[in-house]
Amino acid sequence: VPEIAFLNSAYMPIEDAKISINDRGFVYGDGVYEVMVAYGGHPFRMHQHLQRLKRSAAEIRLALTSSVEEIERVMMEGIERAGFDDTMVYLQFTRGVAPRKHSFPANTKPTFVATFREKPITSEQTRRDGVNLVTIEDLRWGACFVKSIALLPNVLAYQQAQDSEAFEAILHAADGVVHECSVSNIFFVQDGRIVTPAKTNKNLHGITRRAVLDFANDLDIPTSEEAVQLDAILAADEVFLSGTTFEVLGAVKIDDRNIANGTVGPVTQRVAAHFRLTIEQGRYE
């Protein structure tokens, strides 16, 4: 099945979706994005994603010309056209096309791109065995809660993890404070309690992160959002990640050191199972 794109006002095969080399997304990384999964045609927590999109746009002072309702319509039609069981929806807005100059262009319409691809499969073996992580000093800018497309530092960190045959990179400050991973949020379990770094300017306030905290509440598992040191994660009973496409995934090794006994723990399994159940029961918001 070919990847479908929506560009400004029309759907097309992705090969036909082209933008100007003067698009500010291309020359400046001057834009924002969201990634969502639609399960059987139903986007998960769509309104939270679209609210975050609006917030990201406002933070970089990009005036969206599409309403939330219009974006929803583009999404729902694209999901239907693509026809996958589960769809990964990508939305991107940039500050539009203008001759290259750093200042905001006047009277330029934002570029709106959406793509519709099959949701990547996370194998049952990966879910059962868990994944490896590496630790990398976080070099990103000071406004990581903005979901901007200027992602080069994330790309470099993620690739560095791949090069070490790890799934993800834990990004931490020089003093050991953990921010998040390069494309996911991180949690650990200690004495039956789920802990995750508090929301700051140095991490993305993940929708799936929020879902995990909600699910823990459903399951009567105590949670805490607080300042987290790398040492606490290394000494934890369990470590897991949250992300839009893989949902919840246990981490069993960090920089070649096992977490606890090196297996995916019971709390991680309960949260992951509850996530599955939530989808099966059709509770998408």
- At residue 42's C-alpha, the angle toward residues 91 and 180, to 5°, is 55
Task: Tell me if 248 sits within 8 A of 241, measured CB to CB.
Answer: yes
How far from the centroid of its chain's Cα atoms is residue 228's Cα?
20
Q: Which is nearer to its own copies, 48 or 148 (CB)?
A: 148
Sign, Cα dihedral of 198, 200, 202, 204: positive
Q: How far apart are CA 20 and CA 274, in angstroms?
A: 44
Report in angstroms how near the CB of residue 17 gets to its own copies at its nearest. Answer: 5
**Taking CB under 8 A as the criterion, which residues in 179-218 touch its own copies?**
182-183
Q: Is 8 in the site for its own copies (CB under 8 A)?
A: no
Q: Is 135 in the site for its own copies (CB under 8 A)?
A: no
Q: How far apart are CA 91 and CA 220, in angstroms?
A: 34
Report in angstroms how near the CB of residue 267 gets to its own copies at its nearest. Answer: 28
Largest CA distance in the chain: 59
Q: Is 257 in the site for its own copies (CB under 8 A)?
A: no
Q: Is 89 in the site for its own copies (CB under 8 A)?
A: no
Among 54, 55, 72, 153, binds its own copies (CB under 8 A): 153
Strand 131-137 and strand 111-118: pairing?
unpaired
Report in angstroms how near the CB of residue 219 gets to its own copies at its nearest. Answer: 31
Among 4, 25, 48, 52, binds its own copies (CB under 8 A): 25
How far from the centroid of its chain's Cα atoms is residue 151's Cα?
12
Among 4, 38, 89, 92, binds its own copies (CB under 8 A): 92
Q: Give me the residues that bind its own copies (CB under 8 A), please.
A: 3, 5, 7, 14-15, 17-30, 33, 60-61, 90, 92, 94, 99-100, 102-104, 113, 115, 117, 137, 139-143, 148-156, 158-159, 162, 182-183
